[in-house]
Amino acid sequence: MVRNIKTRKGMIYGLLLATITYVGAEAADEGVLPVPSDRAVELAQSAIIVDGHVDFPSQLLESGVDPINNGGATNFDFDRAIRAGFNAPFMSIYVSSHFEETGGAKARADILIGVMEGLTQQYPDKFTISTSVKDVRKAAKAGKVSFAFGMENGSPIEGDLENLHHFYDRGVRYITLAHSKANHISDSSYDDDKRWGGLSPFGRVLVREMNELGVIVDVSHISDDAFFDVIEISKAPVIASHSGARHFTPGFERNMTDDMIKRLAENNGVIMINFGTHFLTKDGSGRRLGRDQAYVDYRAERGLSDTALVYSEFRKWFDINVEVPFAGVSDVVDHIDYVRDLVGIDHVGLGSDFDGVGDTLPTGLKDVSGLPVLIQEMIDRGYSDKEIRKVLGENALRVWSAVEKTANNN
């Protein structure tokens, strides 16, 4: 039964939840999503929800899904987002690491930006592009879903600072310096090849130029040494757009150690918690670490070399063929609790990785419609409305504002 929800927005959301079932391996067991309280629904609708990382642009380009209502083909669409109050995602301009080897990284990023620009032109009453904090707040008041752009992988910079300015002009407001392989900017947490011992010489120059221009530095995906290089260099706060606390996932370098989180907080930055099961639990990360050996076996059986393209194809194969021990909403909030207790509520946010982590999302958070369920879990743990609003988006907007101010003061 749907609870009696007093507000019109709450009633709409309650009816939506009563009809949506999970898409994925556990659909038969899970049934319908739980219905959050009136307070959770109101917070979702009134807050600005900034998600640090949503991979919908690649899905839109490659699959041509309906961006308004696609029946669960992706984790994001307009109807589910607007009903859940999901109004300010950073859309990932994701460029695979193999473009560093083959060329074409800049062109790929430009294509993805163009796809999202086209979407806002086709549906101007529903979507808009935000290039400033002011834009985000204005769009929220207008009831639109606001797209900010975060470039996942710095390969499109192609060693030329003019390209940084080009992408700033196209709306990119953060750059994840590397992805699954080391590139000309930084070492990667996923790559045993630590060719630079952190940032490359060009990477150090790039971080300074990003500060000057007003582009947020994203430390997700980069190696530990590269993270500490960034913290030493950056004059502005930085983000980890979609990471977790390594406390819960020992040995999983993609997540952040306590020391890294403390240094991030000293920088006034924010870690935005990834919803992927392998980021959340020891069992989930064990699956991810086991993937390393599976990758070796996969290549040996097929006689393939270790290239970024081969790794990308392997990832698709692995996610389809290897069972996932799903995390839950409570595991996401465990990470939020941990960061809050370690460095304070001002340094944690949300970076779902919707449409980027395959069928590894937690029970209760299989798509954007689950955000009020996450809010309910925080309410149940005693978070105040002010604290919840900080986690949902105000912390991320504070960092963005500080980056804007740093650039304006140069």
Rounded mean pLDDT of 313-318?
84
Cα(171)–Cα(184) distance, rounded to whole angstroms? Answer: 22
- Confidence at residue 145, expressed as pLDDT on a 0 to 100 scale: 98
DSSP E strand stretches across 120-246 = 127-129, 145-152, 172-176, 216-218, 239-243
* Residue 130 within any structural domain of the chain: yes
- Confidence at residue 235, expressed as pLDDT on a 0 to 100 scale: 98
Confidence of residue 28 (pLDDT cuts 50, 70, 90): very low
What would the pLDDT profile of 55-97 be if each residue is shown by its tens digit? 999 999 999 999 999 999 999 999 999 999 999 999 999 999 9
* Residue 110 within any structural domain of the chain: yes
Confidence of residue 20 (pLDDT cuts 50, 70, 90): very low
* Residue 266 within any structural domain of the chain: yes
Residues 6+ apart with CB under 8 A from 17: 2, 32, 33, 34, 35, 369
What is the domain-level CATH number for residue 97? 3.20.20.140
As a whole-number percent, the residues of the chain with pLDDT over 70 amount to 91
* Residue 134 within any structural domain of the chain: yes
| Res. 205: pLDDT tops 60 | yes
* Residue 2 within any structural domain of the chain: no
What would the pLDDT profile of 242-274 be if each residue is shown by its tens digit? 999 999 999 999 999 999 999 999 999 999 999
Burial class of 262 by CB neighbour count within 10 A (0 to 12, 13 to 18, 19+)? middle
- Confidence at residue 100, expressed as pLDDT on a 0 to 100 scale: 94
Domain that holds residue 218: 37-408
* Residue 8 within any structural domain of the chain: no
| 224 vs 285, residue with greater confidence | 224
DSSP for 299-361 reads: HHHHT----HHHHHHHHHHHHHHS-----BHHHHHHHHHHHHHHH-GGGEEE---BTTS-TTP
Task: Tell me the pTM.
Answer: 0.88
What would the pLDDT profile of 124-180 be if each residue is shown by its tens digit? 999 999 999 999 999 999 999 999 999 999 999 999 999 999 999 999 999 999 999
Cα(83)–Cα(126) distance, rounded to whole angstroms? Answer: 12
* Residue 146 within any structural domain of the chain: yes
- Confidence at residue 33, expressed as pLDDT on a 0 to 100 scale: 53
**Counted domains in the chain:** 1
* Residue 29 within any structural domain of the chain: no
